[in-house]
A and B are shown apart, each in its own frame.
Chain A
Amino acid sequence: MSFWRQLTHGIHALTHRSAADREVDDEVQHFLEQATAAHVARGLPPEEARRAARLEVGSIPGVREQVRDYGWENLVESVIADLRYATRRLAAEPGFTAVTVLTLALGIGASTAIFSAENPILFQSLPYPRADRIMTIWDHGSDRSRAQVTFGTYRELRERAHSFEASAVLKPWQPTLTGRPSPSGSTGSG
């Protein structure tokens, strides 16, 4: 495939649309004339010959369309026509356009916000080297419910457990924001 020819011929057809169309018309017309002439040469009267040729060639606009349809430039042209049509319709109904744009904007905005929050929490690994080897140690009560370890346990673990390279401790922190109209609680670790 000659890429260069595809490109230059396509661009030429795009920029000289009417000339390109006329060329196709001329070629189809020439075909028809020649077919007529061939029938005349076989001895048909001109009118009959024209009819026979037209039957042979088929629908002339059909042939024209078939030939014009070939090529990437037609795809470009129909995409441009579609865009133009869409713009016209949207401009004709500003209310509908506004609602659509707003809906899309909110939808995209909300999805982006949720994903930005969830991505580091759920999907990305922790920002420590070899994050897959970090563990949390919990204590449990007699009913096997999860409980935080005491500071004493932490100290003992630090001294006697050799399976860990390093350890750290989290201290629960539940401050209360006091102020008007009502105080509110929050939970964190420090």
Chain B
Amino acid sequence: MDESNTDVIQGTLDMLILKTLSLQPMHGFGIARRIEQVSRGTFKVNPGSLLTALKRLERAGWLDAEWRDTENSRRAKFYSLTRAGRRQLELETADWSRRVSAIARLLQAEG
């Protein structure tokens, strides 16, 4: 039994969704699946948080949503990145890198 914490780091879910959608439009499950796979199982996205985040990002104007047929002809809500969303992703990525390197410096500091 794997006991390790698979929660997405607080405040980073939006960025992960935006990044995932910057590659191609996807539906909710596709996004969750991809985050899990690319992170090699480090992060598992809780569907409630994911769908709420998608609703929030759509409202914010960073995503567009559209009901389309999937390859196995089921209707699903596909999300795609808007131009504002792309800009937001850049902002959040830059902010994240700044923080990560600051934490890395703090953890490596000696004396």
Which A residues contact B (CB, under 8 angstroms)? 1-2, 5-6, 9-10, 23-24, 26-28, 30-31, 33-35, 38, 57-58, 62-63, 66-67, 69-71
Q: Please, which residues of chain A bring their CB within 8 A of the CB of B52?
A: 66-67, 69-70
Bound together, the chains give a CA A23 to CA B29 distance in angstroms of 15
What size tier do the contact residues of chain B reach? Answer: 20 to 34
Q: Is the interface of B mostly helix, strand, loop or mixed?
A: helix
Q: Which of B14-59 contact A (CB under 8 A)?
A: 27-30, 32-33, 46-49, 51-52, 55-56, 58-59
By secondary structure, the A interface counts as helix
What is the distance, in angstroms, from B100's C-beta to the closest C-beta of chain A? 26
Q: Contact partner of B51 among A6, A9, A27, A35, CB < 8 A? A: A27
Residues on B with beta carbons closer than 8 Å to the beta carbon of A26: 75, 77
Shortest Cβ gap from A75 to chain B (Å): 14
A27 near B60 with CB under 8 A, answer: no
A160 to B61 CA separation, bound complex (whole angstroms): 81
A24 to chain B, nearest CB (A): 7
Contacts A6-B59, A9-B58, A70-B55; A30 near B29 (Cβ below 8 A):
yes
Docked Cα-Cα span, A31 to B50, in Å, equals 11
Q: Is the CB of A67 within 8 A of B59?
A: no
A67 touches B58 (CB 8 A): no
- A6 to B62 Cα, complex, angstroms: 12
Bound CA span A66–B56, Å: 12
Out of B29, B55, B84, name the residue touching A34 (CB < 8 Å): B29
On whether the beta carbons of B29 and A5 are closer than 8 Å, the reply is no
Q: Are A35 and B29 within 8 A (Cβ)?
A: yes
Q: A1-B60, A27-B28 are in contact. Are A71 and B33 (CB under 8 A)?
A: no
- Say whether A30 contacts B59, CB under 8 Å: no
Alpha-carbon separation in the docked complex, A137 to B37 (Å): 92
B98 proximal to A (CB < 8 A): no
Closest 3 CB pairs of A and B: A2-B61, A34-B29, A66-B48
CA distance A170 to B100 in the complex (A): 81
Determine whether the beta carbon of B61 is less than 8 Å from that of A67: no
Cβ-defined contact, A58 with B74, below 8 A: no
**Cα–Cα, bound, A28→B55 (Å):** 13
- Closest chain A CB from B54 CB (angstroms): 9
The residues of B that contact A63 with a CB separation of less than 8 Å are: 47-48, 51
A33 and B70 CA atoms in complex are apart in Å by 12
Cβ of B76 < 8 Å from any Cβ of A?
yes
Which of A24, A57, A69, A71 sits near B59, CB closer than 8 Å?
A71
**A-side contacts of B33, CB under 8 Å:** 34, 38
Of the candidates B33, B56, B59, B61, the one having the most CB atoms from chain A within 10 angstroms of its own CB is B59
